[in-house]
Structure 1
Amino acid sequence: MVDFKKKLGKKVILKKINPLEIYDSLDRKSETGPLRPAQEFILKEWYANRQNDNNLIIKLHTGQGKTLIGLLMLHSRLNSNNSPCLYICPNIYLVKQTILEAKKFGIPYCTFDSSRDIPESFLNGEKILITHVQKVFNGKTIFGLDNKSINVDHVILDDSHACIDSLKSTFTITIKKEENLYSEFINLFSEDLSEQGEGSFLDIKNAKYESILPIPYWSWVEKKSEVLNLLSSDEDNKSIQFAWPLMKNNLNNYRAIVSGNHIELTPYYIPMHHFGTFNNAKQRILMSATTQDDSFFIKGLGFDINSIKNPLIDPNQKWSGEKMLLLPSLIDESLHRDAIIEKLAVPSKKKVGFVSLVPSFRLSKEYEEAGSIISDSSNIFEVVQHLKSGEHEHTVVIVNRYDGIDLPDNSCRLLIIDSKPFFMSLSDRYEENCRKSSDVINTKIAQKIEQGLGRSVRGEKDYSTVVLIGGDLVKFIKSTATNKYFSSQTRQQIAIGLEIAEAAKEDLEKEDKPYKVITSLLKQSLTRDEGWKEYYKEQMDEIIPEAKENHLLELFKLEHEAENYHYNGDSEKASQIIQKVIDNNCSDESEKGWYLQSLARYLYSLSKIESTTAQKSAFKKNYQLLHPKGGIVYKKLSFINQNRISRIKEWVNKHSKYEELMLSVNNITDELVFGMPSEKFESSLQELGLALGLLSQRPDKEFKKGPDNLWCINDNYIMFECKSEVLDTRSEINKHEASQMNSHCGWFEESYQDKKVKRILIIPTKNLSYHANFTHSIEIMRKNRLKKLRLNFQGFFREFKNYEINDLTDDKINDFLLAHNLDINSLSSEYSEECYHRKK
């Protein structure tokens, strides 16, 4: 073998450390070209000025090659000092994707093999170790905890927002219903859970997934010894063993939430200081998209405010890639969610990929019935590879994965985002229930949507049509109350989408079928219509970069400090800090209640009396929170001598214009369908009552006792028990449901004595089982009657289209109510029917 090194003029080959020079010297595949301008800018700036930042956030537009940038930075570090370099992905799927990138560009890497030992080439600083969050962050991590942690000089977290979610899941213990431990927990806390919601606890015992209840923090603390005994006896359980070492001495740091099919134990505070490999690294780099709010790095990863305020970003690029956003339901009402799925989910000879992002497997069923491919964690990598290889006949459905899936070029030219994303973990669902109007929750939802929007456009020259369907999603995107949570780039794309919808309405007048307008717009995008391309560029170039103040930074800093003090046993200092949040950061009463509950939790170890007082204050401000020890006196709905019409006007006036009004109306009706999760269904039924000028309450939710919904109409009442999750195929009302209804009828008599009430059970069948009995007169609202209520509700508010609300007389609005059967008599008689008691 010829030793060519001897032929060189120099005796020693110096390793290149400038990442731009490294890239030029790599043995790259021929398909790779020069670095993109944005990549070049970031690498230059990092090498010249940001190499020594301990905490660094790098922000690029989606699809601009963050992975390659990270790999080149770590390659530079390898060449400069041969120190261990670690590249962490949120999940195994992205590990595979990153390995493909490293291979393509000829970057030295290693990963864990079947032996599961840490590779020597990584420890010796010869290769970059590519792995995932769960491998690094767990109670039995191979990288070691605290003083036993392996020293790594340079760490990169790719898709960092997704990493936070993955990291939190590694600390979470999930106890499934099939396990003995589940029933032992239920037995231990049965009285505590029943006090938090009698009806919800019955649903949980009957395996209803959508019903959730938190175990009160005071019960958790008082029964800590029993909990430790239960968990330690099942320590080898896979779900427990990796969290147990970090949990066993800090049980107070955990929140427990129960559902009908599992129990979730999740930490309030993630103790990152135990993971020296990450915590003590000389440089920690987080990769983030320009559309993402990096405030979450404070609580999730313990980053400081300055690093978040000073990310490394290319100021020359305001936007990247082309997205045509289509909102079919704003073009014509017939182009609703079901109609679009019916057209786009069926197999056909397509030259490009069609992909739909849906928030749950429940919403994927319609696609499956239409012939789409449903991906899950077991086949997602293969499904995406098939798309990239040109297999486009079937629409591909990706469930609850809004980040980390790259679908460039023809692998996805049409992306459907179906319905507003919702949270899957019980702790996130609980927080969403308690903080629906919170900036924190709305920012998280906006980020998920933006992550989804970025899946199909992976470069400056990439393009895609994005179809947005589902009333809740369209409302979130269009409403001025929530539109503000998006980045300037996304807001401009939404504005273009709204302009397209308005222009399409004009074309619609000339077309026979509304769907033709959609296919015409799709064609313009796919055939690269010059007019569209120029229009999009012109509009996007008008983006003005904003330097808005992010108030979440200070809020999260205080929250993180408070939880840190509480974790370390200084509950007094934690209480002082969270009081600052309550005093200075909470303008909304329900948000104030949320933080008062945190204060009550901190105070519990200092003074149980003060803690109970704080919890009562929290509950009075926000009925979704924990029902305090000792309870709250039920506040009865009583007739207020206020004109019903004036309450309708007040509700309408919450909306700045007719389009905003109809977004709210349609969002309510979209969630009043069988198959909808109970929380959304019951919340929308309450809002429908308020919109119609009625007094509307959720006793079971707000006071932990009584029916799901209660309306008051001129001192007459309608009580509802909602069974929205019961399948259409169910043939009868069972004994448990009848018993629950009877219990709530008794509650009404106890609370309201001789008041007149209509008792309605919302369920798909009117047949009462032979084995069941009702103790009172009960009527049933089935699918057709529920549909009639929805349609009449929509029709009533459509009457407002050509009027200014202040120009409408009370008589005119009353005429609208009568015309749409929403007067008091009709509400009591038109929407329910007698049940049929089956004979043996």
Structure 2
Amino acid sequence: MAIDFKKKLSSRTIAPKTDPVELYGTLDRKSVAGPLRPAQEAVLSEWYTKRRTGKDLIIKLHTGEGKTLVGLLLLQSLLNSKEGPCLYICPNIYLVKQVCAEADKFGIPYCTFDKDDGIPNDFLSGTRVLITHVHKVFNGRSVFGTGNGYTRTGTVLLDDSHACIDTIKRAFTISISKTTNADVYSKILTLFADDMVEQGEGSWLDIQSGDYNTFMTVPYWSWDSKRTEVLRILSAAQNDSQIFYAWPLIRDQITNYCCYISGTKIEISPYNVNIRTFGSFSHAAHRILMSATTQDDSFFVKGLDFSPEAVKNPLRNMSPKWSGEKMLIIPSLVDDSCDHDLIVTKFCKMPTPKFGMIALVPSTKNCKQYKDLGAIITTAGSIFEEIDNLKKGDFSKIVVINNRYDGIDLPDESCRVLILDSLPYFDSLADRYEEQACPNSELINKRIAQKIEQGIGRGVRGEKDYCVILVIGSELVRFMRSIATNKFFSAQTRKQIDIGIEIANMAKEDYDESESPVKVVISLIKQMLERDEGWKKYYSSEMNKLEDNNTESTVYERLLKERQAEQFFSEGEYGRAISTMQRLIDEIAVDDTEKGWYLQQLARYTYPTSVAKSIEIQKSAFKKNSQLLKPSSGIDYTKISYIQQNRLNNIRAYMRRFSSYSELSLAVDAILENLSFGTEATKFESALKDIGELLGYMSQRPDKEIRKGPDNLWCGSNNYYLLFECKSEVSETRQEITKHEAGQMNNHCAWFEDQYGQDAKADRFMIIPTKNLSYEGDFTHDVRIIRRNRLKSLKDQIKGFVKELKPYSLDELPDTTLQEFLALHHLNIEDFSAQYSEEYYHKAK
């Protein structure tokens, strides 16, 4: 017999608690679950009394302040208020398990999906919170429905929402691998072959040969004219796993998509994610996003349809200003010899029986050095198993995580040393295209900064947690230190970078020259890990000076206008799309490259109503930014010459781009790092163009700028030209220059003569790891070869030249001295052939 205790409490109804702070006191928590932390209580009280009725809310908490419990309590409060159903969404399945464990610990009733994939009745009836992952909700065949056939929800909460937004974009994207879906890949490649040759014959040849790094964008006018053929190809293959989940989202919206083709895959992705497709999210009465305090939330405006006001006014605990302890060390600032390769080699060989070491790298290529040194390289299938091994105390080897900066927790001993290796890499071709076209864009740089901050945060997961973060790779160091890009980090991260620079300076001051510089770096790490009291007090003292100097940014309005323009275009309101984009161009102050980017969008919006006008706008876009689509009616080539040019003034003009010698030195280091074999072609060629400008020459990339001609062209005094064909991605074990490569060089030499005449004085170089020309190949002109050693010699001389400038103010540096430095380091145009190149060897049959 069961006693009904409720009768003893009189006949009044017992109402469930709706105040989340009071609610917490009624839960059947496990004994390890103590009282709410002050930060949790402050946020929950603020939400309940002032913010609970709004549709959109962002909650920002420091790592380790218990945001999972805050999210669960909010949802339970809403369920108790009869405002369900409530959905808690994690970025991956691994984190679903963690949240379920937290819900068990605190006594919060929840449900998950069973194997039959049906939506649980406990969720639909509003009696339990449903905990699931983002893939389950956001896909074209979602169990929650799309369009008007969606499942009603009261509240949807996205945990680690920055990780979720990337996954949501991927849900709208079809990625067709050449390896696993050769038939569909080949059909689309053939369909657009003629269009792509017009955009760049050399790049198209590289794509056909299977080059991973080279990719091209299908022109929107070609995509529009062949959309029916594309739909037929995709429809016939819709049951393929690479197409299946996204097909329902794409099939009726194909004009709102862009196609990118590389040597290994084809990507079809939307210009903007139409989140309104998922009514369970877009029509929810409340949408709550959980975000770390270091993250920039502006992208929620465009990606998740949030208002700028909701993004600008998050719910946050204003105290404390920072959480956790991070010692950022930039080894190259301690000493130049502590470069990328030395740090990787040293730490891969270092035994660490008491704690885990992690390396975060941006791409598979960056993993190779670690793999050769015996590190554990994680894959998508093994990553969470390896993380569990770390948490269980298996610290036998350094663990390398490839291009994964979010959704991973590495608390306490599982990660005491984190190597942040090289600048993060955009994986999607759409993102890479925007980065390539607008490298100085505030939006692009914010996203890069966000990835870096996500990476930095992996090793410190609580208020008392601590971790050393080693920052290596010239481009990454430059991004974190440069005035132009440092501003895109949160105030907390900027302060930690400042501390890192300061301790590097301290280390240099106390540096004993008889000691190896890398030992100084290791000594700093030991001080931190052995909990040196001086360090702890110094760090706290510096971090307590932190000021949250939020400056008003136009980025919210830009993203809002971008979203609105795309929405109008997708709905067929072309006039409103055009006027919205025109206002953005007129009102937002951007440089020419970004203005070109927006003019290309304007040309695309104009195309359905006036092809002629669209072509004219596209021409304007291309003139401002040659990385964009070449207009269908072509562009005239502008020849370079040295008439009226002063080389020394050109050098000074280049250097004035930088606020200090330190900024210049950082920039040159990053450029020279990209001027290396193994670097993707676009970065290598861009670096070579920059070197030409640094040395005072007129410098062009004809193949990129007009889709014809050599990769690089320099012009010096007396109209002396240097023509470069770059093969930076050729394997260093390759034995010969192929007939195809020789033919390509011959075509570019012919183009040069056609443009500049047969009498133009020119040296012609091929930058490639081998000097052996195949028996079948032939050069029509005198061609010199630049291999690894000669390229290294050039880079060393450029470094030496830049170091000569350190004691001088540019305005006070006499012409004679500057010219003397150039001559000393063999950097005059007539030096290049003898100093940095060699003759090729024609192989006999």
TM range (shorter): over 0.9
Question: Which residue of 2 is the match for residue 583 of structure 1?
Answer: 586
Name the residue aligned to 1:721: 725
Which string of whole-angstrom CA distances, capped at 9 and with x for unpartnered residues, describes residues 414-461 of structure 1? 111111112010000000000001101111111111111111111111
What is the SS of the residue equivalent to 1:454? helix
In the alignment, the residues of structure 2 paired with residue 635 and residue 420 of structure 1 have an alpha-carbon distance, to the nearest angstrom, of: 34
The yes-or-no answer on 1:732 pairing with 2:736 is yes
* 1:260 aligns with one of 263, 284, 308: 263
Cross-structure match for 2:751: 747
Tell me the CA shift for residue 597 of structure 1.
0.3
Q: Which moved further from structure 2: 82-91 or 453-462?
A: 82-91
Q: Please tell me the residue identity of whatever aligns with 1:146.
A: G
Indicate if the aligned counterparts of 2:63 and 2:463 stay in contact, CA closer than 8 A.
no
**1:196 and 2:233 matched:** no
- Does residue 706 in structure 1 map to residue 709 in structure 2? yes
Q: 1:756 to 1:30 in 2, by over 3 A?
A: farther
Shift of 1:214: 0.4
Q: Distance in 2 between matches of 1:165 and 1:643?
A: 48
Residues 165-314 of structure 1 mapped to structure 2, 5 A cutoff: 165-178=166-179, 179-314=182-317
Stretch deviating more after TM superposition (5-14 or 224-233): 5-14
* Residues 734 and 769 in structure 1, CA contact (< 8 A), matched pair in contact too: yes
**How much does 1:167 deviate?**
0.4
Whether the 8 Å CA contact 1:64–1:458 is kept in 2: the answer is: no
The secondary structure found in structure 1 opposite 2:419 is strand
Distance across 1 between alignment mates of 2:249 and 2:520: 57
CA distance in 1, matches of 2:75, 2:255: 39
Q: Any runs of at least 4 consecutive aligned residues in structure 1 with deviations exceeding 6 A, and if so which?
A: none
- Which whole-Å CA distance do the structure 1 matches of 2:554 and 2:114 have between them? 45
Q: 1:421 — aligned with what?
A: 424
Q: Return the alpha-carbon distance in structure 1 between the equivalents of residues 104 and 38 of structure 2.
A: 22
Which range is displaced more, 16-25 or 319-328? 16-25
Q: 1:498 aligns with which of 480, 497, 501?
A: 501
Q: Secondary structure at the match of 2:665?
A: helix
Partner of 1:672: 675
Task: Give the conservation status (yes or no) of the 8 Å contact 1:74–1:128.
Answer: yes
For residues 26 and 391 of structure 1, what CA distance do their matches in structure 2 show?
A: 36
Q: Which segments of 5 or more consecutive residues in structure 2 lack a partner in the other structure?
A: none
Mapped contact 1:175–1:181 kept (Cα < 8 A): yes
Q: Structure 1 CA distance, aligned partners of 2:8 and 2:737?
A: 87
SS in 1 for 2:284: coil
> Which residue of the partner structure matches residue 348 of structure 1?
351
CA contact (8 A) 1:708 1:721 kept: yes
Residues 1:49 and 2:36 are matched in the alignment:
no
CA contact (8 A) 2:725 2:765 kept: yes
SS of residue paired to 1:422:
coil
Offset from partner CA, 1:79-131 (integer Å, 9 cap, x none): 33272211112223332332333333333222222211112222222322122
For 2:648 and 2:37, how far apart are their aligned partners in 1?
A: 61
1:134 matched residue in structure 2: 135
Deviation at 1:44, TM superposition (A): 1.5
Per-residue CA deviation, residues 202-253 of structure 1 (Å, 9 max, x unaligned), is 1000000111110000011111221122221212122222222222222110
- Counterpart of 1:330 in structure 2 is 333
Worse-matched range after superposition: 462-471 or 24-33? 24-33
> Which residue is 2:62 aligned to?
61
User: 2:459 aligns to what SS in structure 1?
Assistant: coil
State the distance in 2 between where 1:700 and 1:312 align.
50
More displaced stretch, 671-680 vs 594-603:
671-680
Q: 2: distance between equivalents of 1:99 and 1:716?
A: 70
Cα offset for 1:652?
1.5
What SS is found at the alignment partner of 1:81?
A: coil
1:470 aligns to 2:473 (yes or no):
yes
Structure 2 counterpart of 1:158: 159
Q: Give, in angstroms, the shift of residue 655 of structure 1.
A: 1.6
Which of 766, 770, 776 is the equivalent residue of 1:765?
770
Q: Is the 8 A contact 2:720 2:829 kept in 1?
A: no
Aligned to 1:363: 366
Check conservation: 2:83, 2:154, Cα contact below 8 A. no
2: distance between equivalents of 1:191 and 1:142?
41
Preserved CA contact (<8 Å) 1:135 1:141:
yes
**1:837 is matched with which residue?**
842
Q: Does 1:609 align with 2:612?
A: yes
Percentage of pairs with the same residue = 53
Deviation at 1:809, TM superposition (A): 1.0
CA-atom RMSD in angstroms: 1.6
Letter in 2 for 1:627: K
Say which is worse superposed, 339-348 or 450-459, in terms of deviation: 339-348
| Structure 1 contact 331–501 (Cα < 8 Å) conserved | yes
Deviation (angstroms), 1:158:
1.1
Q: Work out which of the residue numbers 778, 783, 789 in structure 2 matches 1:784.
A: 789
CA distance in 2, matches of 1:516, 1:30: 46
Equivalents in 2 of 1:486, 1:214: separation in Å?
Answer: 31
> Which 10-residue stretch deviates more, 391-400 or 79-88?
79-88
SS in 1 for 2:476: helix
Q: Which residue of 2 aligns with 1:570?
A: 573
Contact conserved, 1:82 with 1:126, CA < 8 A, in 2?
no
Instruction: Answer yes or no: is the 8 Å Cα contact 1:347–1:393 preserved in 2.
Output: no
Size of the aligned set, in residue pairs, is: 840
Distance change >3 Å, CA 824–CA 120, structure 1 → 2: same
Q: Deviation digits for residues 341-380 of structure 1, max 9, x if unmatched?
A: 1111235143111111111111011111112111121011
Q: What SS does structure 2 have at the residue aligned with 1:174?
A: strand
Equivalent residues of 2:784, 2:833 under 8 A apart: no
TM-score by length of 1: 0.98
CA distance in 1, matches of 2:362, 2:711: 25
**Aligned equivalent of 1:522:** 525
Q: Following the alignment from structure 2 to structure 1, what is the Cα–Cα distance between the partners of residues 350 and 660? A: 40
Structure 1 CA distance, aligned partners of 2:817 and 2:340?
33
Q: Residues of 2 paired with 1:107 and 1:513: CA distance?
A: 55
- Mapped partners of 2:336, 2:253: distance in 1: 54
Q: Compute the displacement of 1:298 (Å).
A: 1.0
Question: Does 1:457 pair with 2:466?
Answer: no
Q: Against the structure 1 CA distance between its residues 471 and 180, is the aligned structure 2 distance closer, same or farther, given a 3 Å change threshold?
A: same
Tell me whether 145-154 or 507-516 shows the greater mean CA deviation.
507-516
Q: Quick check: 1:323–1:463 contact (8 Å CA) kept in 2?
A: yes
Q: Deviations over 1:22-70 (max 9, x none)?
A: 3334344444433332222111111222111110011112332222211
Instruction: Provide structure 1 residue ranges, at least 5 long, that are not aligned to the other structure.
Output: none
Determine the C-alpha separation between the residues in 1 that align with 2:572 and 2:6: 65
Give the aligned partner of residue 802 of structure 2.
Answer: 797
TM-score by length of 2: 0.97
What amino acid is the match of 2:99?
A: T
Q: 2:486 aligns with which of 483, 496, 508?
A: 483
Identify if the C-alpha distance between structure 1 residues 6 and 153 changes in structure 2 by more than 3 Å, giving closer, same or farther. Answer: closer
Q: Who is 2:812 aligned against? A: 807
| 1:797 CA displacement | 0.3
Contact 2:91 2:163 in 1 (8 A): yes
